Amino acid sequence: MTATDRARELVRIAARAADAKKGQDIVALDVSGPLPLTDAFLLVSGDNERNVLAIAGGVEEALIDAGAKPIRREGRTEGRWVLLDFGDLVVHVFHEEDRMFYSLERLWKDCPTLPLGLDPSLIE
């Protein structure tokens, strides 16, 4: 099984929004094979708690504007690991230290990556 076209579209929208808020190390994983509940994870890092919250807010706003319905939000009070569940896509916005500690990329290393739709010439 592979991620749906809608999930891929949401990944691109969320990645652009995260990039616009200075999100770092943006990675999308197709988790549709091992997980029946969602198609994709988007992993993003922020420098500090304020940046994590800004990235999460920008991503959430962009996805809602695109017609996606938020199912669950977690971690907004701490600003260390914010999880945004949009059904087809689950966005994980981490403080860079927490991302290294939880290492979701290692946990899901067998899942293929998805294209982000970011213009490499615009990324610093």
Whichever domain contains 66, its CATH number is 3.30.460.10
DSSP per residue, the chain: ----HHHHHHHHHHHHHHHHTT-EEEEEEE-TTT-SS-SEEEEEEESSHHHHHHHHHHHHHHHHHTT----EEE-TTT-SEEEEE-SSEEEEEEEHHHHHHH-HHHHTTTSPB------GGG--
| Phi/psi of residue 4, nearest 5 degrees | -70, 165
Q: What is the pLDDT of residue 36?
A: 87
Q: What is the pLDDT of residue 118?
A: 83
Q: Provide the 10 A C-beta neighbour count for residue 100.
A: 11
Total domains, the chain: 1
Q: Kindly state whether residue 11 falls inside one of the protein's structural domains.
A: yes
Q: What is the pLDDT of residue 120?
A: 59
Q: Kindly state whether residue 123 falls inside one of the protein's structural domains.
A: no
Q: Kindly state whether residue 60 falls inside one of the protein's structural domains.
A: yes
Q: What is the pLDDT of residue 122?
A: 47
Q: Kindly state whether residue 124 falls inside one of the protein's structural domains.
A: no
Q: What is the pLDDT of residue 52?
A: 98
- Average pLDDT of the chain? 93
Q: Kindly state whether residue 91 falls inside one of the protein's structural domains.
A: yes
Domain assignment of residue 83, given as a range: 5-118
**Mean pLDDT over residues 40-61, rounded?**
97
Q: Kindly state whether residue 72 falls inside one of the protein's structural domains.
A: yes
Query: pTM of the entire structure?
Result: 0.92
